[in-house]
């Protein structure tokens, strides 16, 4: 069982700052989704977590202990790019895993490979990208690890196999193991993850439980009778993260207390009050690139 604590992680590649002051606590036995645009630093964060990259500052602790070689007996990692040996067959990769990892179950690997439709006799170089991902996923899940770290585990897979990977993740969660995975498919994260963290430009911009985020984050919408109005007492409320106006229509992104703020908006003279739900994709887009969040949002303007 492992809690992972990341503290003040900073990693640079030359002049490029890949991860900047990133802190995160990943609880034990949970499915944790790491979201972020390309280049946000997710892969770098994973690499630092696994000792594959040396951070400039910061530390990563597993149950309060730094990473040592023995810890890897409990960890399974699926990297973003293919690490298979091109000239070896899939079966030889299974054998390699068997020798390297004490709890690896070759029988389970064979079953999983079959479920993904991979022919174990083929050489890795003859496999498509999706098949390579499937092989790495199958080998990782056969390792019976307590912590699975998966970087884009569904890349290149067809929808059936993608759903299969999700089922594997959920199965691990039911067994009480931790799964940390990154994906661009927000729908997958929405299903499988209990906690999420959103990274942008090397920083943590949002974190929380999916259900709580959805329950608390809302858009409160109101229509004022005229184009001149005041949002005193609302604009300053720390629970209002964003204000978008289009002439008479005001939309407030609130992180909590939607009902109360809706009531205040009503008192301020707005009619047609609506409280709109946000799904994870909306929440994510607001967190990373607010300008693209909704199709009909116009740039801010007017007096507050």
Partner 1 sequence: MTYVEWLRIRGVLKWTGIVLIAGVVLLLALRLSLLTFGSNDALLFVHGLETNKGSRVVHTTLSDGTKRTTIDNSKDHVHVVIDDLGYQGKRIQIFERSSHGMTHPHKTISMGDLHVETRASGKETVTTVETNRPESFGYYAAIASFVGLIVGTLLGAPFARENDGHLEVALTKPVRRETLGLATIGVDLAGIAAAWAMTVLFLIVAHTIIEAPHFTFGPSDATLIVLGLVGNAAWYAMLCAATASMKRSYGVILGVAWPAAIVVTVLAKLQLNGSQMGQVVHAVVTPISWIDPFSYLHFGPAYTVNGQPAGSMAVAPHLELPMLAILALVYGTLAVLQWRRVEA
Partner 2 sequence: MPAVLTVDPRSGVPIYLQIIEQVKRSVALGILQAGEQLPTVKQLALDLTINPNTVARAYRDLERDSVIETAPGRGSFVRSDGVGNSAKTAAADVARDALDVGLREAKSVGLSRNEVRELIDVALDRWFPEER
What residues numbered 80-99 form the site for partner 1, per CB under 8 A?
81-83, 85, 88, 92, 95-96, 99
Instruction: Report phi then psi at 18, rounded to 5.
Output: -85, -40
The reply on whether position 289 binds partner 1 by CB under 8 A is no
Within 8 A by CB and 6+ apart from 235, the residues are 243, 304
- CA-nearest of 226, 5, 224, 76 to 234 is 224
Q: Which of 14, 38, 54, 303 binds partner 1 (CB under 8 A)?
A: 54
- Contact present, 145 and 2 (Cβ < 8 Å): no
- Contact present, 35 and 199 (Cβ < 8 Å): yes
What residues numbered 173-212 form the site for partner 2, per CB under 8 A?
173-174, 187, 190-194, 210-212
Closest CB to partner 2 among 66 and 269? 269
Tokens for 157, please give them: 């897979």
The reply on whether position 237 binds partner 2 by CB under 8 A is no
Within 8 A by CB and 6+ apart from 22, the residues are 6, 8, 9, 10, 41, 45, 58, 199, 202, 203, 204
Picked from partner 2, partner 1, none, the partner binding residue 34 (CB below 5 to 8 A depending on kind) is none
Picked from partner 1, partner 2, none, the partner binding residue 214 (CB below 5 to 8 A depending on kind) is partner 2
239 exposure class (CB count in 10 Å sphere: 0-12, 13-18, 19+): middle
Q: Which of 1, 73, 275, 276 binds partner 1 (CB under 8 A)?
A: 73
The reply on whether position 171 binds partner 2 by CB under 8 A is yes
Picked from partner 2, partner 1, none, the partner binding residue 167 (CB below 5 to 8 A depending on kind) is partner 2
DSSP-assigned letter for residue 123: B
The reply on whether position 272 binds partner 2 by CB under 8 A is yes
Half-sphere exposure of 191 (CA within 13 A, CB side): 14
Q: Nearest approach, Cβ of 87 to partner 2 (angstroms)?
A: 37
Which residue stretch of 65-73, 113-121, 146-154, 271-279 sits at the interface with partner 2 (rule: CB under 8 A)? 271-279
**Cα first-last separation, the chain:** 50
Which residue stretch of 100-108, 116-124, 234-242, 277-285 sits at the interface with partner 2 (rule: CB under 8 A)? 277-285
Closest CB to partner 2 among 20 and 115? 115
301 exposure class (CB count in 10 Å sphere: 0-12, 13-18, 19+): exposed
Q: Nearest approach, Cβ of 304 to partner 2 (angstroms)?
A: 23
Closest CB to partner 2 among 225 and 233? 225
What is the C-alpha to C-alpha distance for residues 158 and 163, in angstroms, rounded to an integer?
A: 9
Q: Nearest approach, Cβ of 106 to partner 1 (angstroms)?
A: 13
Q: Nearest approach, Cβ of 102 to partner 1 (angstroms)?
A: 7
What is the C-alpha to C-alpha distance for residues 30 and 62, in angstroms, rounded to an integer?
A: 14
What residues numbered 115-134 form the site for partner 2, per CB under 8 A?
none
Chain residues that interact with partner 1, rule: CB under 8 A:
47, 50-54, 69-73, 75, 77, 79, 81-83, 85, 88, 92, 95-96, 99-102
């Amino acid at each position: 069982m492992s809690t992972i604590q990341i503290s003040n992680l900073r990693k640079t590649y030359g002049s490029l700052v890949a991860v900047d002051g990133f802190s995160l606590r990943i609880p034990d036995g949970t499915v944790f989704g790491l979201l972020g645009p390309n280049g946000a630093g997710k892969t770098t964060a994973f690499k630092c977590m696994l000792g594959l990259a040396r951070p400039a500052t910061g530390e990563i602790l597993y149950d309060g202990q730094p990473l040592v070689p023995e810890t890897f007996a409990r960890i399974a990692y699926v990297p973003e790019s293919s690490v298979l040996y091109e000239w070896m067959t899939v079966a030889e990769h299974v054998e390699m895993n068997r020798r390297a990892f004490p709890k690896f179950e070759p029988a389970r690997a064979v079953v999983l490979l079959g479920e993904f439709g991979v022919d174990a006799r083929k050489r890795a170089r003859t496999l498509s990208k999706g098949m390579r991902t499937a092989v790495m996923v199958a080998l990782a899940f056969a390792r019976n690890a307590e912590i699975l770290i998966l970087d884009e585990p569904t890349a290149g897979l067809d929808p059936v196999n993608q759903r299969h990977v999700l089922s594997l993740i959920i199965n691990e969660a039911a067994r009480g193991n931790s799964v940390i995975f990154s994906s661009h498919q927000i729908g997958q994260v929405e299903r499988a993850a209990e906690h999420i963290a959103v990274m942008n430009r090397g920083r943590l911009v949002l974190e929380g439980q999916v259900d709580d985020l959805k329950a608390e984050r809302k858009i409160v919408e109101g229509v004022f009778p005229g184009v001149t109005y005041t949002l005193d007492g609302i604009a300053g409320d720390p629970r209002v993260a964003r204000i978008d106006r289009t002439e008479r229509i005001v939309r407030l992104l609130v992180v909590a207390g939607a009902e109360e703020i809706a009531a205040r908006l009503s008192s301020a003279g707005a009619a047609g009050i609506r409280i709109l739900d946000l799904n994870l994709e909306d929440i994510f887009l607001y967190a990373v690139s607010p300008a693209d969040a909704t199709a009909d949002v116009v740039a801010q303007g007017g007096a507050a």
